[in-house]
Structure 1
């Protein structure tokens, strides 16, 4: 996922892109069945869809409307008002394409507008992962009306994806933590732009978001973000909303949760699980068996559908990142 913010007088334009896991050759391969030159259109109250076939355009448009309502109710407790202008959705659908998407919009003096969305992937992944992810970005943008911290925006939007996509993030998280690519929370919370190595931010942001939501719920998570964006004193709001005295303490509690097999760890590996921080060594983790988190059902405890992990490759095109 990538969001780039470009400032201009009185406004901020945001580009938010879903980064899927796919081979470079699949993203670059020309395919007549994903061309939009002969795309079919479908119009709903809030979306105008262009897709390879009329049936796909209708299916994507109706799904987008349903997700727009259900995800807004799930996260903020009520549906969003109808937009003044519909959001165009350009859809490329083919089994040869990796899951990915991009959404753009503009913040201007407390308003948000200028929605545009692109989605790509197989029909299944577009409908059950890419579209929910991108629609959740619009819910957060409409609710907060300002850019969110990168880790929280991408992390929360990943929680609504299909289990197979979440499973990929879980496997990548453990890989990153065991190879020194984890991001210390003091650095991650301060990020306003994406790092060069973007995937660790996605995996770690998703895992931390799930950790906070499982322990305290979505409403507390939104209040935590709104409070923190007022002065960016994340140590203060972490203590106020979650009871941790510092980001470092939260970091180690989260690591303990990950070590407790949420997500499932590859216990056959002897590599340590730790963050890439020369100045903040990992401290012993508190016993979670007596904590409230131990009593919470976890999505990570469920049996995830197996999903192959193809070689990682990046394609940079038009200011967006596709993987």
Structure 2
């Protein structure tokens, strides 16, 4: 048996994970602090068991998670998911003093997915409109593909459902990374099986490419593309067949042209026109945090800076979470 075990990474702990997202508002308290849930209120839906500070919050989180699970599955896969055999526990810490963050853990085991666990934290608005949609999207993808996705595609797709204010920060960060020669060549990005030491550029670039491909043909076409490419890791063939680009380099250049043009909406009759899931108003963007002592990706020669000449880089205080992927030995 080969299983992939996911575990959240804390401030000092080493993690075992496949699809974990940790987000936190800049200068906020560290995410996922150790707290007791003995006095937490509970609420159960068909697929989630929620522990939260109050009964009202537990109900809001449970119903929001269930609504996200259904609507996001329809958006990405075209139909609702069957109920899980066992519900996913959600532990929620809700306070305006907490940075927004989330972690989802599960096991891939012989074509099945089980042992779901989710933790979310932040203000009520952040939990409902960004953290839950992001984390639930990870469960939709895991349930559909039943094996790990390419890192850029998994995190990129999950980021598209966050609040618009966070997406705007991603877009600004991307320009900064490309100007600073931190762009990841597509030949390297598509080959990534694990997270890099510094995942900031991967998140920003993965989100942007995912959005570009969705703009071209829609979400379900994007899922078909991933299914095809993951079948044999021949991404050059998959890109050519599904999007008409000769190879990854051609896709990279066309995507860069789209970024330089200001990311215009691409007119295509097959595009999904539904906006990202937004379940509550937001006044503060969700941002991610990482250990700033980690080394940056080394500078590399890149065509990005030259091709983006004239596009003004935008500075932002947002930082992202880092994670490590490890595989449990076969038993």
Same structural fold, with TM-score higher than 0.5 when normalized by the shorter chain: yes
Structure with greater strand share of residues: 1
Q: State the partner residue of 2:234.
A: 233
Deviation at 1:165, TM superposition (A): 1.4
Q: State the partner residue of 1:221.
A: 222
C-alpha contact 1:96 1:121 (8 A) present in aligned 2: yes
The answer on 1:12 being equivalent to 2:4 is yes
Q: Which moved more, 1:93-102 or 1:15-24?
A: 15-24
Deviation at 1:121, TM superposition (A): 1.3
In the alignment, the residues of structure 1 paired with residue 142 and residue 81 of structure 2 have an alpha-carbon distance, to the nearest angstrom, of 11
Deviation at 1:247, TM superposition (A): 0.7
TM-score with structure 1 length normalisation?
0.78
Deviation at 1:28, TM superposition (A): 6.4
C-alpha contact 2:31 2:99 (8 A) present in aligned 1: no
Q: 1:23 to 1:147 in 2, by over 3 A?
A: same
Which structure exhibits the higher relative contact order, with contacts defined as CA atoms closer than 8 Å and separated by 6 or more residues? 2
Structure 1 unaligned blocks of 5 or more: 1-8, 264-275, 286-307
Q: 1:146 to 1:316 in 2, by over 3 A?
A: closer
Q: 1:45 to 1:28 in 2, by over 3 A?
A: closer
How does 1:160-309 map onto structure 2 within 5 Å?
Answer: 160-262=161-263, 277-278=300-301, 281=303, 309=316
C-alpha contact 1:24 1:314 (8 A) present in aligned 2: no
How does 1:63-74 map onto structure 2 within 5 Å?
Answer: 63-74=64-75
Residue aligned with 2:208, SS? helix
Q: State the partner residue of 1:273.
A: none
How does 1:33-52 map onto structure 2 within 5 Å?
Answer: 36-52=37-53
Q: 1:177 to 1:44 in 2, by over 3 A?
A: same
Q: State the partner residue of 2:130.
A: 129
Please give the per-residue CA displacement for 1:186-228, whole angstroms capped at 9, x wherever unaligned: 1110111100101111111000000000011112111110011
In the alignment, the residues of structure 2 paired with residue 219 and residue 315 of structure 1 have an alpha-carbon distance, to the nearest angstrom, of 28
The alignment covers a number of residue pairs equal to 274
Deviation at 1:277, TM superposition (A): 4.5
Q: Which moved more, 1:51-60 or 1:13-22?
A: 13-22
Structure 2 unaligned blocks of 5 or more: 7-16, 265-298, 308-314, 327-331
Structure with greater helix share of residues: 1
Q: State the partner residue of 1:304.
A: none
Q: 1:241 to 1:313 in 2, by over 3 A?
A: closer
In the alignment, the residues of structure 1 paired with residue 131 and residue 247 of structure 2 have an alpha-carbon distance, to the nearest angstrom, of 34
TM-score with structure 2 length normalisation?
0.76
Deviation at 1:20, TM superposition (A): 2.3
